[in-house]
Chains A and B, each alone.
Chain A
């Protein structure tokens, strides 16, 4: 329980920091002189532009929370790695997609949805492989140190 709370807080913090950083990068790239937390169309939904920032922050925190809690799936003992991966993937995809659309990151149409999905799958596969590589590296490090006595 305490681990879950710690993970949740960490996830929300990371989500907000990343959201802020990435949105700033995009603002500079588009040569903006005012801060837009997402697309200009997104901010137009709000009478007060501050509300757009607030809602974005809430969504970033929620996305961070989703990714940190979803990772806990991998700790379930009785499930095979395949089952854990599949469930984790769907939690992320089904949770992240509506949040990204709500946050105004891409327009809600089939073309963007398909390219988003393909990108998401690619990044998921890369992250999964990176995690395997990190585990393997850690274990090799430990084994080496044990051998050295």
Chain B
């Protein structure tokens, strides 16, 4: 899917810059004829907001640089419009209506924004008025209610879109006017792009539909209010009973396998030794925490150590209290109690084997003992 998407994108992208490249070339050459000594890049075309005013007042050459660029941009727009072919498209009416609405809002925003800036900059009342009218004249002279001028300074950086990329191609050949150090680079670019687009939208909105509707929408990124309400729509209405019991997977092996596969998809190569240990533990290549030398004991878990060590209890029922057999069996018990390799049950079985053995050999033993008086094995 990703591959497919990128292929499509390539196609589209290769078409888009072609148009802009033309524009760029034309405008570049046209502006070159006007002035030869060096251009400010769009970076330097600071302005409009706070920066504009001080610059204008204090720094004459800077202003001319900005003006020059504005002129340059103006040419660019003009050419752009010419090159854009206007074909009516389905849905034009709707879009146009929406555009008109949007622009009305935008124009209001521009007015308030200009006022704000003016009040920020100006000290005297007349100063404010002048600033405001200058700003508005600048904006409107450029074409129109430039869309979301009030979108906020912090956010304006974002929508510097493809346009900028193409602009970059335009700028490649230019020298950068270093007299002005641009403190906030993207803001200006975003603003420039937006302004140019808005002017285009206006002129094209009237007499037919402009080429790429989405491009205009795109510029409004942050201020875009018509967001998609993901969960507010009309439900499908198929599942009316929302209280259905959870259906369990009827295939237990399958669900196990898919669970395992899922967890593998989120598994990354270990990034440190602890993760490496986790991995090894999961693969059961190391003992599990907490380290316990009784882990994985199945048959002896519930056997107390006393059953391993105190084995004489198994003698009581059958073994004589004294004598060689008793002596022998006690030695057997001592030996077994020190053996960690057999289970308690095996030890017991071992002892009981001797009981049966002695039982079987009872007669022989008796004969032997009767020959040696003073010793007795009788129970």
Asked if chains A and B come from one complex, the reply is no
| Residues of A participating in the B interface, judged by any CB pair closer than 8 Å | none
